[in-house]
Copies of this chain bind each other. A is one copy, B any other.
Amino acid sequence: MVNAGAMSGSGNLMDFLDEPFPDVGTYEDFHTIDWLREKSRDTDRHRKITSKSKESIWEFIKSLLDAWSGWVVMLLIGLLAGTLAGVIDLAVDWMTDLKEGVCLSAFWYSHEQCCWTSNETTFEDRDKCPLWQKWSELLVNQSEICLFWMFHGASAYILNYLMYILWALLFAFLAVSLVRVFAPYACGSGIPEIKTILSGFIIRGYLGKWTLLIKTVTLVLVVSSGLSLGKEGPLVHVACCCGNFFSSLFSKYSKNEGKRREVLSAAAAAGVSVAFGAPIGGVLFSLEEVSYYFPLKTLWRSFFAALVAAFTLRSINPFGNSRLVLFYVEYHTPWYMAELFPFILLGVFGGLWGTLFIRCNIAWCRRRKTTRLGKYPVLEVIVVTAITAIIAYPNPYTRQSTSELISELFNDCGALESSQLCDYINDPNMTRPVDDIPDRPAGVGVYTAMWQLALALIFKIVVTIFTFGMKIPSGLFIPSMAVGAIAGRMVGIGVEQLAYHHHDWIIFRNWCRPGADCVTPGLYAMVGAAACLGGVTRMTVSLVVIMFELTGGLEYIVPLMAAAVTSKWVADAFGKEGIYEAHIHLNGYPFLDVKDEFTHRTLATDVMRPRRGEPPLSVLTQDSMTVEDVETLIKETDYNGFPVVVSRDSERLIGFAQRRELILAIKNARQRQEGIVSNSIMYFTEEPPELPANSPHPLKLRRILNLSPFTVTDHTPMETVVDIFRKLGLRQCLVTRSGRLLGIITKKDVLRHMAQMANQDPESIMFN
């Protein structure tokens, strides 16, 4: 028997405790909670409040406040998460531009804001306004350094290049130092840990106030530093920290680990909602990807929190366009059946990318954990940032921020578009309305862009593998989407040009007459982004809904679904785990995935402890052990609890006693109760029998006994046991045969057995 968990089954315990000991009902760090017990404690609380509310008006008001507190928490989470997301967006905007130059009128303006405020600019050269100065202009004009530079054009370029690298290094160094010094939990995307926490694991401080603060600040720094990472995953972590903070203000949530997790699920929805401006997608993400226990009440509240967050973000208006969504796109032409073929190809690409990324990233992270590499996190970040900045700067598609890149790739080429990607050769006779531009031959700009995009694709693929998992906040959504969007846009331009030059081919003849607008390369970029994101995370419904909320039309949902389905199938063929599950396993968290199916034919008897040949189960008897016996047993073992049986001969189970409460009860009794000595007999029965006069005072312990421990028979198939653990959220379960106690199965045993059956190392499950 491995350390058996805390009291299982459920807590009618409280009924017998007149004065609960301190710390009763809390859990130790890195331990698993007992969902049934938490639920039952909440019901008790609720019963108390309901019965009290009839006593006085004040109590009635208190009960109303209690009932409303859930909505208040959601409102607060929505407001704070929306505000933080807005602030992060604004700060990232400014700091990303700071790498290139500064605004003379006010240094805290970003490039765009700077040029808005200058009135002299016309629409065409919005980007070139005198108030915004590149570092080369600023430094060269304002100092005498210009004397040293002979070739002015090249020197300005090199100066800007250096400033770009320096700023990037400064931001990255600041970020990694802050994380190391103040909040080590602020690193990574946070989603694997949040999934584990929501499944009922305790990681103290992971959602604390320091983590919130440091993650918010460092997130701005790392995104601005130009590393290949996104802010979307970390925003979920930030929102969950908000959720944890506000739930600590209300005793309903702060004192109940189960209820707290309901709030956190809603907070995760709010996080995605602000990350993409997609409230419905956020709720579905929380439901599909993150949450474990998601009652319908939570669904409704999550939706509320997600909406409040989205509207708060919109009123802050960080994108300056009153749009809720991160990438707003509007396409003007429908798609055609024949296009499904390239869409499915993009799905295959997405699946392959997902597999490649997960394998390489996990291999690299494992190397980081096991070799000396892990000892120099600051150096690693500095090196990766330097390499990223050096390679990224010369290529315009890697120099700009990744979200801008995706935005540009998603866009349809309108008449006013100045992007290089829209450098098509116009028909001089064309006098069409602006929205409906026919397919045109590609100009020089497009060909240049194709080369640059191809290089950017390779760069992004390689650098993202090394970036994700460093000791800084780093999200995966945006880099994955960028990889897909680049590939998609390239395929899209290819198909477009093919259709233009060969519109007499059979496949094009039906839907692509000359002069018609038949292919939208931006849509391909979007489909590619969905495919790659799906390949990495294995999201399905939420992915499609998020993308649907970006385009706002059902029209394009079929291409997105086709790509998402293909990408998931291709990726699943190489390995069932998404990146988050892979990181959970890498870290050895006890996560019992609801999506895994257990299909082996083992029985409970194969999994329970003690195994054959091991010493028998450590049990307590109901009326024959002395205090000293029990103290010895506690000292010699480290199990979290002990089954209580009628007698060692009959081995009939009557209940389960927790180690922690046994220790507290004995300590209490020795201090306060007279006549308790080492050879006092401990009784778990209802009434101790009449004892001879000279025998020591007995110790009654029925009140700490859990009388409803969860049991299964030794013949129960493991698939049923796994199902029970999953659905009821148990910590452990006792195994009996014909009423006799045989052994115990803990959550750790279940997870180790599952790992063994999947030919993985069972020792990788480290926590209980």
In the complex, chain B residues whose CB is within 8 Å of the CB of A650: 739
Interface with B: A92-100, A166-174, A379-387, A553-561, which one? A553-561
Closest 10 CB pairs of A and B: A739-B739, A707-B715, A652-B739, A708-B716, A10-B720, A727-B727, A300-B540, A652-B738, A654-B738, A708-B713
Q: What CA separation (Å) do A668 and B256 show in the bound complex? A: 56
Interface residues of A in 263-314 (CB under 8 A from B): 279-280, 283, 287-288, 295-297, 299-300, 303-304, 307, 310-311
- The answer to whether the Cβ of A39 comes within 8 Å of any Cβ in the partner chain is yes
Q: What CA separation (Å) do A102 and B299 show in the bound complex? A: 49
- The 0/1 profile, CB within 8 Å of B marked 1, for residues 623-662 of chain A is 0000000000000000000000010001011110000000
In the complex, chain B residues whose CB is within 8 Å of the CB of A652: 652, 738-740
Is the pair B646, A296 in contact by a Cβ cutoff of 8 Å? no
Q: How far is the CB of A710 from chain B (nearest CB, A)?
A: 8
Q: What CA separation (Å) do A595 and B724 show in the bound complex? A: 20
In the complex, chain B residues whose CB is within 8 Å of the CB of A299: 287-288, 540-541
Q: How far is the CB of A241 from chain B (nearest CB, A)?
A: 25
Q: What CA separation (Å) do A599 and B66 show in the bound complex? A: 16
Interface residues of A in 1-29 (CB under 8 A from B): 9-10, 12, 15
Interface residues of A in 41-72 (CB under 8 A from B): 43, 46-47, 50
Is the pair A541, B720 in contact by a Cβ cutoff of 8 Å? no
Q: How far is the CB of A659 from chain B (nearest CB, A)?
A: 21
- The answer to whether the Cβ of A324 comes within 8 Å of any Cβ in the partner chain is yes
Is the pair B296, A594 in contact by a Cβ cutoff of 8 Å? yes
8 additional A-B residue pairs with CB within 8 Å, beyond A304-B565, A708-B716, A709-B713? A10-B717, A10-B719, A36-B723, A288-B296, A303-B541, A324-B554, A727-B728, A728-B728
Q: What CA separation (Å) do A401 and B107 show in the bound complex? A: 64
Is the pair B40, A719 in contact by a Cβ cutoff of 8 Å? yes
Nearest residue, chain B, Cβ from A708: B716
In the complex, chain B residues whose CB is within 8 Å of the CB of A737: 654
Is the pair A738, B708 in contact by a Cβ cutoff of 8 Å? no
Is the pair B719, A708 in contact by a Cβ cutoff of 8 Å? no
- The answer to whether the Cβ of A377 comes within 8 Å of any Cβ in the partner chain is no
Q: How far is the CB of A164 from chain B (nearest CB, A)?
A: 37
- The answer to whether the Cβ of A601 comes within 8 Å of any Cβ in the partner chain is yes
- The answer to whether the Cβ of A608 comes within 8 Å of any Cβ in the partner chain is no
Q: What CA separation (Å) do A709 and B717 show in the bound complex? A: 11
Q: What CA separation (Å) do A299 and B297 show in the bound complex? A: 18
Q: What CA separation (Å) do A594 and B297 show in the bound complex? A: 11
Q: What CA separation (Å) do A282 and B571 show in the bound complex? A: 28
Is the pair A307, B558 in contact by a Cβ cutoff of 8 Å? yes
Is the pair B12, A603 in contact by a Cβ cutoff of 8 Å? yes
Q: What CA separation (Å) do A650 and B740 show in the bound complex? A: 12
- The answer to whether the Cβ of A545 comes within 8 Å of any Cβ in the partner chain is yes
Q: How far is the CB of A43 from chain B (nearest CB, A)?
A: 5
Interface residues of A in 550-573 (CB under 8 A from B): 552, 554, 557-558, 561, 565
